[in-house]
Amino acid sequence: EKCVACARKCVCWSNISIMHVEKYLELFHLSQEKLKEVSARLKRDLIRGLGKHSHHRAAVKMLPTFVRATPDGTENGDYLALDLGGTNFRVLHVRVVEEQQRVLKMDSQICAIPQEIMLGTGEQLFDHIAACLSEFLDSQDLKGKTLPLGFTFSFPCEQKEIDKSILIRWTKGFNCSGVEGRDVVQLLKEAIHRRGDYDIGSVAMVNDTVGTMMSCGYRDQSCEIGMIIGTGTNACYMEEMKNVKRVEGEAGRMCINTEWGGFGDDGSLRDIQTEFDVVVDQTSINPGVHTFEKMISGMYLGEIVRLLLVRLTEDKLLFNGQTSEALLTPGSFETKFISEIEEEDTGLENGQNILTKLGVKCDPVDVRVVRLVCDTISSRSARLCAAALGTIANRIRVNRGLDHLKTTVGVDGTVYRKHPNFSEELQDTVRLLVPKCSITFLVSEDGSGKGAAMVTAVAQRLALQSRLLEDSDGEDEEVEEDEEEEDK
């Protein structure tokens, strides 16, 4: 008979089989009430992370970015963007055109970072970056211009100002000496100064999530949230300055990089972690860290599915109880397989091909079970992500004393972009959880390139406005003094 629980996926098999499989899958089904509980826990963590004295022990770090506004549509001009986050880095020339409300990527260049430089001195690394930047400026005929630069530096940093960011520790195979504990903007400027053949203008440090928000913010000025759901996950949003206790000043707003991947690192999500989540965490390179990320992001979803498939096979509910060497190998079931298997028209055929390559003998019912497992794991991911996003949207609404909030989320990441059902389930769940928030989703165009340029452009606009304000204040005083003289 056709199983009612799986009618959407058209799974036909015996009710006894579905009962046994559902016993495992029900661990991943989160009710609306449970999602609201998760949301309430995250809300407490956001407040703790913003606190002056509580932030150091908060699981959700709520890092100030010193980005104090989103685009207002008046930004224009030419900018450079530098994106360093792995064994390659990109240099971009970006033009912001006010009349067309467009951010144009004029050109870009990818530069490799050799292994010996990744493990050499900080001076060697930044000299290499400065040399590649010089070569790019030559190719663009920009050597004579002093352009502002947006710097996306995807390593753990403590940001002190928009142009000051201290490297906490290297990751991703880098171990350059003399950089940890130092300001990476200063190191870049020193390397450029050593060359002496060009100069750069103001520098703005850009987190990739903030870049996502800002790249969308020029197209849609109501975009005040940035979210990434790809290999990892994170979000940022515009918070009221009066709530950002670690930074002086009460007026206006500041973008906060939540680092929500760490949600649950204090054990607050233990009740919804399954035994499979626990194994994924314990066998990862950073056990006990990024608990939330490990339940919802692309780096881990495939492995959760693989562990579940192995268990179902061992319990003789799949593949006639016969595993394969490939299926037993950690990391062999890639997250992209989930998307391919859940494709509406070709999913079952894709599943058959994937499972065959993994060395298991499967019949059509096995493929349908695997599809159901994939759907269950990706659905949990989307619903958890929706709970977290709803928390942020509702916080903005309450912060502003609104009965109803209309806002836009700039979003990026392969899970959101590539999975056939993820974005729809995420949006449907957000609508259920926060009915007082109407959220539009806008897919980012190159947050680490165009978005970095927009952060720099907005920072320049604000700096110019504050200078103009200071100047006009001075003029008022002079006028008043002149008037007083005339009265005498």
Same domain for 147 and 285: no
Separation between Cα atoms, residue 34 and residue 429, nearest integer Å: 13
Q: Which among 96, 91, 82 is positioned nearest to 458, based on CA atoms?
A: 96
Residue 73, pLDDT score: 85
Is the pLDDT at 3 greater than 60, yes or no? no
Residue 7, pLDDT score: 41
pLDDT digits (tens, 9 = 90+) for 330-376: 999 999 999 999 999 999 999 999 999 999 999 999 999 999 999 99
Catalytic residue among 83, 127, 163, 208: 208
Same domain for 362 and 347: yes
* β-pair type (405-412, 437-443): parallel
Same domain for 383 and 283: yes
Is the pLDDT at 388 greater than 60, yes or no? yes
Residue 74, pLDDT score: 87
Helix or strand holding residue 240 (H, E): strand 233-240
Same domain for 365 and 323: yes
Q: Which residues pair with 84 in a beta bridge?
A: 89, 153
Is 317 within the bounds of a domain? Answer: yes
Residue 471, pLDDT score: 53
Is 487 within the bounds of a domain? Answer: no
Same domain for 404 and 339: yes
Same domain for 301 and 266: yes
The mean pLDDT value of the chain amounts to 90
Same domain for 115 and 51: no
Supply the DSSP string of 321-337, one letter for each residue. G---TTTTSTT-S-HHH
| 453 neighbors 150 (Cβ within 8 angstroms) | yes
CATH of the domain at 374: 3.40.367.20
Separation between Cα atoms, residue 418 and residue 343, nearest integer Å: 10
CB atoms within 10 A of CB 73: 11
Catalytic residue among 172, 316, 357, 361: 172
| 105 neighbors 445 (Cβ within 8 angstroms) | no
Of 39-43, 204-208, 418-422, 469-473, least confident by mean pLDDT is: 469-473
Is 199 within the bounds of a domain? Answer: yes
Is the pLDDT at 328 greater than 60, yes or no? yes
As for how many domains the chain has, the answer is: 2
Share of the chain above pLDDT 70, in %: 91
Query: How is the chain split among helix, strand and coil, in percent rounded to 5?
Result: 50, 20, 35
SS3 254: strand
Q: pTM of the entire structure? A: 0.87
Separation between Cα atoms, residue 44 and residue 38, nearest integer Å: 10
Confidence of residue 466 (pLDDT cuts 50, 70, 90): low
Separation between Cα atoms, residue 482 and residue 488, nearest integer Å: 10
Side chain identity, residue 116: E
Same domain for 432 and 292: yes
Same domain for 368 and 240: yes
Residue 464, pLDDT score: 75
Is the pLDDT at 422 greater than 90, yes or no? yes
Residue-range definition of the domain harbouring residue 44: 18-63+216-445
Same domain for 237 and 138: no
More confident residue, 101 or 292: 292
Average pLDDT over residues 153-181: 90
Check if 412 is active-site: no
Q: Which residues pair with 407 in a beta bridge?
A: 439
Is 13 within the bounds of a domain? Answer: no
CB atoms within 10 A of CB 31: 9
Side chain identity, residue 218: Y
Is 480 within the bounds of a domain? Answer: no
Same domain for 419 and 280: yes
Is 6 within the bounds of a domain? Answer: no
Side chain identity, residue 257: N
**Tokens standing for residue 50:** 């913003």
Residue 439, pLDDT score: 97
Residue 151, pLDDT score: 95
Is the pLDDT at 465 greater than 80, yes or no? no
CB atoms within 10 A of CB 414: 16
Is the pLDDT at 33 greater than 50, yes or no? yes
Helix or strand holding residue 481 (H, E): helix 452-487
For tokens 């960011």, name the residue.
165
Is the pLDDT at 467 greater than 70, yes or no? no
Q: Which residues of 75-95 are buried (b: 16+ CB within 10 A; e: fewer)?
A: bebbbbbbbbbeeebbbbbbe
pLDDT digits (tens, 9 = 90+) for 98-151: 877 788 888 999 999 999 999 999 999 999 999 999 999 999 999 889 999 999
Is 10 within the bounds of a domain? Answer: no
Q: How many residues are listed for the chain in this entry? A: 488
CATH of the domain at 92: 3.30.420.40
Is 477 within the bounds of a domain? Answer: no
Separation between Cα atoms, residue 120 and residue 246, nearest integer Å: 35
Same domain for 154 and 246: no
Share of the chain above pLDDT 90, in %: 76
Confidence of residue 425 (pLDDT cuts 50, 70, 90): very high
| Phi–psi pair at 351, nearest 5 degrees | -60, -45
Check if 105 is active-site: no
Supply the DSSP string of 272-324, one letter for each residue. T--HHHHHHHHTSSSTTS-HHHHHHSHHHHHHHHHHHHHHHHHTTSSGGG---
